[in-house]
Copies of this chain bind each other. A is one copy, B any other.
Amino acid sequence: MALEDMRHPIESGCPDGFQYMHPTMRKNYGMWKFHEHPRPGVLRHVAHSGDEIWTVKAGTQRILDVYSLRKLTEIGDKFADGYVRFTIRSNIEYMVTDEAQVEPLIKALEEAGFVVGGTANSVAMISHTQGWLHCDIPGTDASGVVKSMMDELIDEFKECNMPNRVHITTSCCQINCGGQGDIAINVQHTKPPKINHDLVANICERPSVVARCPVAAIRPAMVNGKPSLEVDEKKCICCGACFPPCPPMQINDPENSKLSIWVGGNHSNARSKPTFQKLVASGVPNNPPRWPEATAIVKRILKEYKEGAKDWERINDWIDRIGWPRFFEVTGLPFTKYHIDNWRGARASLNASTHIRF
């Protein structure tokens, strides 16, 4: 098609949400008084005007086929005035004004196979990324990992019997598009990239690949007559940062790309300031289709957290109180030299005191 015939985009940007918002929410915008949590998966928000919004939250497979999507809209039409929203964890929320609508709505959702829950002090829907399904650099899958884990954690999603919200995230490469989390399951490569030297010259802009390496382990080199790249394997920390700009730097490896588990990432400012997650386990096999080893560790941590933490303590709050030595003791996870940070600012992570846990 000739250029002039091409359609020019309307740069409308981010649409106004009000046009799709439930009228009661529009009416009471910014004038909400309080909320209650009548049961898992349901929130009752009351406005100063006296109006109420009952929210029913349901978990889905994040990646929806149009059938599932239409099923969700159909339920919305029947039971929820035709208004929905999605949460940051890809849960769907139906908002109704009349308590009477709640039970039928829940029934319809559950009959359709969706899972009502994920509110308050539950294990929230695990947020995930693309993985083998679509990304160009994944070390593992995303949807599959999450489906496997949610199958095991579904009761914790449906009931609210954790000390506080548990926000779990996953990422399918060390770039970590999934956020940090109370528990995070991430990829951890353990070997330097295998370089396909024949391709480097044509595919990779060598200087910018060199610049990508966090530890300056890459240098340009001639390999069998062709301009290529060389990695100092002593320096290489197997982060995979060189792979996206230069696919011949093959970092993904069926055997040596492992999973690692991190805990204590808390982004809310409630109580303590936001905290970064910390490494607790690594070398976990990347084991499709159901990744049982990773799930087992997650469940073990959740069990101890559930038993050991006080109400309202997030995982980081709990560990702050009992101390890391105790965390490793109760979870039975090994403490290794790899747990001792040696990255920038690592000094702040060392114990410069006699505060010892016995």
Contacts and interface: CB of A to CB of B under 8 A. Distances in A.
Interface string A310-347: 00000000000000000000000000000000001101
If over half of A's interface residues share one DSSP class (helix, strand or loop), that class is named, otherwise mixed; here it is: loop
Contact of A352 (B273, B344, B353): B273
Nearest to A353: B273
Interface string A94-131: 00000000000000000000000000000000000000
A195 B284 CA distance: 59
A354 interface: yes
Nearest to A348: B348
A254 interface: no
A119 to B, nearest CB: 23
A353 B275 CA distance: 9
B347 A269 contact: no
A325 to B, nearest CB: 15
A2 to B, nearest CB: 53
A274 interface: yes
Contacts of A353: 269, 273-274
A355 interface: yes
A334 to B, nearest CB: 26
A352 B269 CA distance: 10
Contacts of A351: 273
Contacts of A354: 269
B352 A274 contact: yes
A269 B353 CA distance: 6
Contacts of A274: 352-353
Contact of A348 (B269, B345, B352, B355): B345
A20 to B, nearest CB: 29
Nearest to A351: B273
A354 B268 CA distance: 9
Nearest to A274: B353
A269 B355 contact: yes
Contacts of A269: 353-355
A216 to B, nearest CB: 18
A274 B273 CA distance: 20
Contact of A345 (B273, B347, B352, B355): B347
Contacts of A348: 345, 348
Interface string A260-291: 00000000010001100000000000000000
5 contacts: A269-B355, A273-B353, A273-B355, A274-B352, A345-B345
Given A269-B354, A348-B348, 12 more contacts: A269-B353, A269-B355, A273-B351, A273-B352, A273-B353, A273-B355, A274-B352, A274-B353, A344-B345, A345-B345, A345-B347, A345-B348
Closest 4 CB pairs of A and B: A273-B353, A345-B345, A269-B354, A348-B348
